[in-house]
Amino acid sequence: MADFETPELKEIPEIPKLKEGAMAHSKPYIAKAEFQEELGFPGELLDDWKEKAIEKIGDLKSRYRSVQVFLDICVKCGACTDKCHYFLGTQDPKNMPVARQDLLRKVYRRYYTFAGKFFGKLGIPEFVGAAELTKEVLDDWYSYYHQCSQCRRCSVFCPYGIDTAEISMAAREIMDSVGVGQKYCNEILGKVMKIGNNLGLPEPALADTLEGLEEEVFDDTGVPVKYPLDVKGADILLVTPSADFFAEPHVDGLIGYGKVFHEAGVSWTMSSYASEAGNFGMFIGSYETMRRAALRIRKAAKDLGVKRIVFGECGHAWRVAYSFLNTLAGPFDFLDPNYPVPQHICEFTYDLIQEGKLKFDKSENDHMTLTFHDSCNVARGSRMGSKMNGQFEIPRAVIKAVCNNYVDMPADTIKESTFCCGGGGGLLTDDLMEIRVKGALPRMEGYKTVVEDNGVTNLAAICAICKSQFTKVLPYYGFGMTDIVSVHQLVSEAIILSDAPSEEAEDSDDSSE
């Protein structure tokens, strides 16, 4: 299947021995000049890259408290060393969170601290964990800062809350600023800025796809559920990851959102201008780029005159939406103040369930036993509902409302301790397949446990990246690629559409199956 070995799933996960340099060869393709320049970065490695990189460290640490504080205060206690899924899957010590941070920290110490400068002049900067910035260090940055999915699991366990995601975002911005960007992220951002979504689907293609969906749902249910695009004056703007428009199982989730909106009797629309919930600006650590992408949503909401914004199932998108959107593109005082801005589709569906406005036939999902994969950016970078832990409880409550068989994976692999799918943070590209497969190991071990012990057959998620990643990596570990399902796919299966034609007598069909 590939030129690397898939790690073995252990009964009891163990902390592996170190294998130095095991993943030093892993590097994503470099972005071409045109995509770099589109985002305002130099097209290729600058001649004076070293000076510029050092300068950029200074700039970032003066603008981000996280960078300044986190680079200073690590005591190297080792608490994080066994927490990263990429370390657990590869055994490469530079994938331990503290070691990954140290790749940048040692340069910061050399050029910005008394101890680093002093021992640097003596010729022994390593005495205080400092190091000169060299081409080898830059290569290490490129390799290992693209083996971090910015999942924040380390930050849960750090006694000071040091978040490697913040450091890897900073490092990627430094690299972009000296001309070494990552092809995958930067090309995608170019498409968002020009066309409106990560996949580069223009308005006619979207309209066509959505029309196809309407026909499909009508054939299936006999109900004219609408999937509207660019409808001015609609109440709700749905912003969803563009993978929802055609990828499996994403699109089944989108079908589900439409049915929920239909049943709720609200008017809603998508926007071709802001047809992307994802915001890869976060992955590359660029506030300005992230803001540019976020402002498209503000503009779409204003132009369409909607009252509310709802986000579809997407992990990092929800972090940017929940935690950053108000900062980047707010205030949203032109929207209906009775609803939070933005809302998650799970919050929307959950509220309707609470109000008793949705009816389900849970037996439609009886052929499955489900577990829920907490996507990292939802779990550790956002919330749902008005109370702490809502991001764990609300999706589970939605699943349990539409399914009879549900089991959680082991406690140390879910909720705030959830393991990343292995493809987040801008790594969901074929040129990083090895790290994606190896990084999925701890998640697969958790899944294996409930598959074997509880007969779990499927894994539900609310993240487009998780869904795509699992579709690819599940087979490497001996599971089916279709084990992964969308949460709103489950909703879609079970929901009873009140205006469905009754003569179909679906019930009798089902019971005979």
Partner 1 sequence: MSALSVTYAILFYLATAVLVIGVTRKIMQYAKTPAPLKIPTTPAPVTKQGVVLRMASEIVLFNSLFKSNKWIWIFGWMFHFALLLILLRHLRYFTDPVWFWVELIQPFGKYASFAMVAGLAGLWVRRIFVERIRYITSPSDHVMLALLVAIALSGMTMKFITHTDIVKVKEFFIGLLTFSIEPLPSDPALIIHLTLVVILMLVFPISKLLHAPGIFFSPTRNQVDNPREQRHLAPWAAKLDADRD
CA–CA gap between residue 138 and residue 134 (Å, rounded): 6
- 123 binds partner 1 per the rule CB under 8 A: no
- 182 binds partner 1 per the rule CB under 8 A: no
Q: What is the DSSP letter of 320?
A: I
Largest CA distance in the chain: 87
CA–CA gap between residue 133 and residue 348 (Å, rounded): 49
- 194 binds partner 1 per the rule CB under 8 A: no
- 149 binds partner 1 per the rule CB under 8 A: no
CA–CA gap between residue 306 and residue 325 (Å, rounded): 16
For residue 145, the number of C-alpha atoms closer than 13 Å in the C-beta half-sphere is: 29
**Which alpha helices (H) appear in 122-202, and where do they start and end?**
135-144, 153-157, 164-177, 183-194
For partner 1, the closer CB: 65 or 359? 65
Q: How far is the CB of 224 from partner 1 (least distance, A)?
A: 34
Sheet strands (E) in 189-341 = 236-239, 268-270, 308-311
Q: At what angle do helices 164-177 and 65-73 cross, to 10 degrees?
A: 110
Other beta carbons less than 10 A from residue 374's beta carbon: 27
- 416 binds partner 1 per the rule CB under 8 A: yes
How many of the chain's residues bind partner 1 (CB under 8 A)?
74
Of the candidates 147, 149, 155, 458, which one interacts with partner 1 according to CB under 8 A? 155
Residues 11-30 that bind partner 1 (CB under 8 A): 15, 17-18
Of the candidates 102, 244, 263, 276, which one interacts with partner 1 according to CB under 8 A? 102
Of the candidates 9, 46, 128, 229, which one interacts with partner 1 according to CB under 8 A? 128
Of the candidates 37, 42, 132, 161, which one interacts with partner 1 according to CB under 8 A? 161
Residues 51-70 that bind partner 1 (CB under 8 A): 61-66, 68-70
- 75 binds partner 1 per the rule CB under 8 A: yes
For partner 1, the closer CB: 7 or 381? 381
Judging by beta carbons within 10 Å of its beta carbon (0-12, 13-18, 19+), is residue 381 exposed, middle or buried? Answer: buried
Of the candidates 98, 178, 345, 428, which one interacts with partner 1 according to CB under 8 A? 98
For partner 1, the closer CB: 323 or 454? 323
For partner 1, the closer CB: 98 or 490? 98
Q: At 44, which amino acid appears?
A: E
What would the two tokens of residue 58 be? 């200074």
Residues 334-393 that bind partner 1 (CB under 8 A): 340-342, 379-383, 386-389, 391-392
Instruction: Give the pairing of strands 484-486 and 458-461.
Output: parallel
In angstroms, what CA-CA distances link 101 with 154, 179, 271, 320, 389? 11, 21, 39, 23, 28
CA–CA gap between residue 195 and residue 5 (Å, rounded): 39
- 396 binds partner 1 per the rule CB under 8 A: no
Residues 210-249 that bind partner 1 (CB under 8 A): none
For partner 1, the closer CB: 46 or 128? 128
Of the candidates 30, 53, 57, 80, which one interacts with partner 1 according to CB under 8 A? 80
Residues 260-319 that bind partner 1 (CB under 8 A): 287-288, 291, 295, 302
Q: How far is the CB of 215 from partner 1 (least distance, A)?
A: 37
Of the candidates 22, 46, 115, 205, which one interacts with partner 1 according to CB under 8 A? 115
